[in-house]
Amino acid sequence: MGNCGTREENAVVAAHSQVQQLQMFPGKNALSEKKHTRTFSDISDSSSLRNFEDTRNISIYTNVIAFTLFELETITKSFRPDYVLGEGGFGTVYKGYIDENVRVGLKSLPVAVKVLNKDGHQGHREWLTEVNFLGQLRHPNLVKLIGYCCEDDHRLLVYEFLFRGSLENHLFRKTAAPLSWATRMSIALGAAKGLAFLHNAERPVIYRDFKTSNILLDSDYTAKLSDFGLAKAGPEGDETHVSTRVMGTYGYAAPEYVMTGHLTARSDVYSFGVVLLELLTGRRSVDKTRPSKEHSLVDWARPKLNDKRKLLQIIDLRLEGQYSVRAAQKACSLAYYCLSQNPKARPLMSDVVETLEPLLGSGPSDGPIQTIQSFTTSRLPDYRTAHGLTRNGVNCRASPSTKCSPAVPACRVR
């Protein structure tokens, strides 16, 4: 108990007192997205992301509010059980509503309040990481951090409230209506844009915990990445990877990261491939209720992704009649290469975005129905031809940088 005792915690308290006067007036919130949102040049400036673990940086996040514990107790009705939205490793998430009754000048909007479980030390580190990353990063496909609270040993985060909850619930909850092909491809594209935005920095941000439960959906099913507690700043200079303790979720983590602890942007690409496979099949990444050979979705499905006789058999039966064979082939081929055992054979997330964009308008009548063989030999997805990838992923173009991250001067995400 007591005040924040460590050097980092004292810095948060100091920053808290500086930021606490911040008020969000409707007029100021109406500023253009261009003014409120960091551009690629803001993000790619290595100095803007160099000190993620230095809590003193919190004081410069002028678009994040320092709430008091009393204010957050007020908006959640003292954290009433019927206000609970969900629970995770970090703690419990409650629904709330901020307006001028909470603090004069606050814009009225629903929020989600995440309360740190005080029993674990790792939780504070994750809290700190989320404030530092989301205090700097703004993108339509990242969840927006509204504010935070640090009082005594209380750690809370306040996010925009996303009406439809997690992708996990929509894909796997039995009572949920099945997502259409178009919606699934739109979600995949939005999530890919979020990852590409993180990766396309001079020093990339590696998300490290990409999975369906961390993809939240707003009212029109726009995907937003949430939960940045495990995110890491990527390698700098001549470094090829970040060495770190292996953390994440079984079934989504890249095999080379699990084996070595070496983390790169390509680790996120693998995780994206797992989620794309879940979207295509309607199956969980790990499902022990299925026959033993089907426990691991990747082990079961990946060999079929480039097999002309089996590819269409793994597509979710609830999607029948909603997609063209050509669109299914492209999506499966993309998943196949994202899930490559060789990290360098995986596409960049910016290439993933370019491959997924044409699939949004693809319906059952779009384009001629063709065999897998003719597709793979004559109509390869753009990222495969551009990067020299062959069917087995061995003959791939050299990475543009010694780091597993894009070496491009500007973000190509649209």
- What residues are annotated to the active site? 209
- Provide Rg for the chain, Cα atoms: 22
Query: Please, which residues bridge with residue 356 across strands?
Result: none
Coil, helix or strand at residue 218: coil
Pairing of strands 65-66, 223-225: unpaired
Sheet containing strand 215-217, edge to edge, reads 165-166, 215-217, 223-225
b/e for 164-192, b at 16 or more Cβ within 10 A?
A: ebbbbbbbbeeeeeebebbbbbbbbbbbb
Q: Does residue 290 come out as left (phi exceeding 0), alpha (psi in the -120 to 50 range) or beta?
A: beta
- Contact 189/360 with Cβ under 8 angstroms? yes
Residue 35 annotated as lining a ligand binding site: no
* 242's tokens: 């970040």
Angle between helices 349-356 and 265-281 (to 10 degrees): 30
Q: Which helix (H) or strand (E) holds 155?
A: strand 154-160
Find the angle CA(139)-CA(208)-CA(36) to the nearest 5 degrees. 15
Residue ranges at the known binding site: 114
Residue ranges at the known binding site for ATP: 114
